[in-house]
Amino acid sequence: MNATSALPTTMQFVDHGAGGPAGCMRINNGPLPVVSDDEVLIRVAAAGVNRPDVSQRSGSYPAPADASQVMGLEISGVIVAVGSAVTRWKAGDAVCALTPGGGYAEYCKTPAAHCLPIPSGLSMLEAAALCETFFTVWANVFDRARLTAGETLLIHGGSSGIGSTAIQLAKAFGASKVIVTCGDQAKIDYALKLGADAGINYKTEDFVEATKAATDGRGADVILDMVGAPYFQKNLAAAALEGRIAQIAFQHGVKAEVNMQPLMMKRLTWTGSTLRARPKSAKAAIAASLESQVWPKFAQNTDALRPNIHATFALSEVVKAHQMMEAGTHFGKIVLRVEE
């Protein structure tokens, strides 16, 4: 391992113990992670907070056995040590990174191939809020559901971290119409400001009818769903001929009784994936694809892809950060400031 000199032997991290409500989290001290040949060690500047962290803390989404049991799936920071097989990065390089876990800490290790340069024009705080949503949206909306320029995208949860990224990426890659569902008008206004073309209040409107009305009766070419069972049949109805539905979560249930007829009659594709469980090589391939296809867009027009940071909290205020996410009052991303 090649390391900068004078690394401490211990670090602070967020310990959620056996899990439970937000109050179960506390700051603890422990040893720094030890990198393998293909990994880098990063001094964390900031860490993004994502819904899967809340699920991990509360016990419904355990970390893989071979990953850090500390929460935190995305970070920005500076590399302080590299494994013996790492050639791309060196100590001192500033990066943003997808992590297998362990981001809520002063130091975090991750495969070198899951790191990306800080995009042009973004701060470390903004860069910390990129990887989890950019990897997820790219892999699902673009790779699996094959959204192409000129097509229509319906995003459920348009003001979420994932939804905000999906709006920006879809518009940056030429989607003709981006329609979002949100739980109130303020969230719809936020999504419209980010670039969405139409907003549907899912609490007061029927999103199937509203999507058809917004697409001259065609329906959406691609649907990004994080709601699950209660939306499955409706998504089939809201999809256009040859439409693709990408499932990335089941917030309101995993089981549904479904009339499958529209799948065949409209020649639909239902797909989905969960990022954390994918092999290192698959995440490396997504990183490479993002770097070649998406990162240049930051240089062309940073504002079109800039993550919206709703709130930042010191690492010691992690309880407040999770409480905010659970209250659902945020627009875009919540970020932990690890290096003050």
Q: Which stretch binds ligand NAP (CB under 6 A): 8-16, 24-32, 114-122, 182-190?
A: 182-190
106 binds ligand NAP (CB under 6 A): no
Q: Is the dihedral of CA 326, 331, 332, 335 positive or negative?
A: negative
- Residue type present at position 55: S
> 59 or 328, CB closer to ligand NAP?
328
Task: Tell which one of 325, 335, 336, 338 touches ligand NAP (CB under 6 A).
Answer: 325
> 52 or 103, CB closer to ligand NAP?
52
3-class DSSP state of 220: strand
Contact 220, 147 (CB under 8 A): no
CA distance 35 to 102: 13
The H or E element containing residue 67 is none
3-class DSSP state of 332: coil
160 binds ligand NAP (CB under 6 A): yes
CA distance 113 to 68: 18
Contact 196, 180 (CB under 8 A): yes
> 93 or 206, CB closer to ligand NAP?
206
Q: Is the dihedral of CA 195, 154, 99, 57 positive or negative?
A: positive
Site for ligand NAP in 42-71 (CB under 6 A): 50-52
Q: How far is the CB of 143 from ligand NAP (least distance, A)?
A: 12
Nearest to 7 by CA among 110, 155, 107: 107
156 binds ligand NAP (CB under 6 A): yes
Token readout for 163 is 């939804």
Q: What is the CA radius of gyration of the chain?
A: 20
3-class DSSP state of 110: strand
Task: Tell which one of 162, 167, 194, 294 touches ligand NAP (CB under 6 A).
Answer: 162
Cα 160 to the chain's mean position, in Å? 9
Q: Is the dihedral of CA 313, 315, 319, 322 positive or negative?
A: positive
197 binds ligand NAP (CB under 6 A): no
Q: How far is the CB of 34 from ligand NAP (least distance, A)?
A: 27
181 binds ligand NAP (CB under 6 A): yes
Measured distance between the N- and C-terminal CA atoms of the chain, rounded to whole angstroms: 27
Q: How far is the CB of 61 from ligand NAP (least distance, A)?
A: 8
132 binds ligand NAP (CB under 6 A): yes
Q: Is the dihedral of CA 278, 279, 283, 288 positive or negative?
A: negative
Site for ligand NAP in 240-299 (CB under 6 A): 248-249, 251-252, 273-275
CA distance 61 to 43: 26
> 83 or 332, CB closer to ligand NAP?
332
194 binds ligand NAP (CB under 6 A): no
Task: Tell which one of 150, 288, 328, 339 touches ligand NAP (CB under 6 A).
Answer: 328
Token readout for 232 is 């499955």
> 79 or 227, CB closer to ligand NAP?
227
Site for ligand NAP in 205-244 (CB under 6 A): 226-227
Q: How far is the CB of 55 from ligand NAP (least distance, A)?
A: 6
Q: Which stretch binds ligand NAP (CB under 6 A): 4-12, 121-129, 160-168, 261-269?
A: 160-168
Site string for ligand NAP, 289-308 (x = CB under 6 A): --------------------
- Binding residues (CB under 6 A) for ligand NAP: these are 50-52, 132, 136, 156-157, 159-163, 181-183, 187, 202, 226-227, 248-249, 251-252, 273-275, 325, 328
